[in-house]
Amino acid sequence: MSGSLLAQSAVNALVLSSLYILMALGFALLLSIMGVVNFAHAVIYMVGGYVCYELIVTAGLNNWVALAITALGLGLFGLFLERFGFRPFFGNTNRIIVLTLAVIVILESLVNVLVGSEVRAIPSFWSGSFQIKGVWIAHERIIAFVAAAVLLIAVFTFIRRSRTGQQMLATSQDFVGATLQGINIYRITAIAAFIACALAAVAGGLMGSLMFLNPFAGDQMLVRAIQVVILAGIGSIGGVLVGGLILGVLNAFLPLWLEGSAVDAVGVAVIIVIMLFRPQGLFGHEA
């Protein structure tokens, strides 16, 4: 196996890891803070990709402007979903799961009606490639990695350094205790929903420039997000970084030796083995 192929796989691992983390972080936020398993996270990711595509191709906006508008729009949808979907059924897991499944059906059907099942791709944020020691690296992958990394650093800095972020951490650790300390729980859950959906939308826009878009594009990414959260451990937001890195490395390097569904099977097997020794995940607690 050539060194250039390994180097290319390492680049792919970094790009995939950053996007997996971007996707999983929003999923983990809602799970940690509200206890909500938001299966609709996948369809928000998919809609983000399509909205970004339409803003660029149909409206003629700059790629970055389109991505920012997409994040804002889907973030506002997150506020709507939290206020009229999650909040009325807070604490009722079964009803919230049914609600998220209904959102999936509605949004997937809407996309199918509006754009059909035609596969599309978001125009490149930066076309071309460059070479480093015999390894060709597409500008698009560097852009996706840097954009995702900057956004992740910003979100983690906000969570760790700001007063609101500290309140989010307190709420994720002890919901009742946070309420008794005077924290406005509904304000925190609304912010978490906004950030979660905005991150999913950005991930959809960036991934849509690397891969093709279709109405069911989010299904596989949802599986990846759940795998990352399981690896990190329920309740661990910071652990998402390590979980996403592990999954990204597995999905970038396993195709060098395996083909097709065997890659997913081995990836799941690795996670199961880790769970046998660490049922609470790498940094969390047992669900």
Q: Quick: pLDDT tens for 228-277.
A: 888 887 767 778 888 888 888 888 888 878 776 777 787 788 788 887 88
pLDDT at 79: 94
CA dist 48 and 234 (Å) reads 26
What are the boundaries of each domain within the chain?
Answer: 14-216
Higher-confidence residue: 194 or 155? 194
pLDDT, one tens digit per residue, over 28-52 is: 888 888 888 888 998 999 999 999 9
Residue 67 CB-density burial (10 A; 0-12 exposed, 13-18 middle, 19+ buried): buried
**What pLDDT is stored for residue 77 in this prediction?**
95
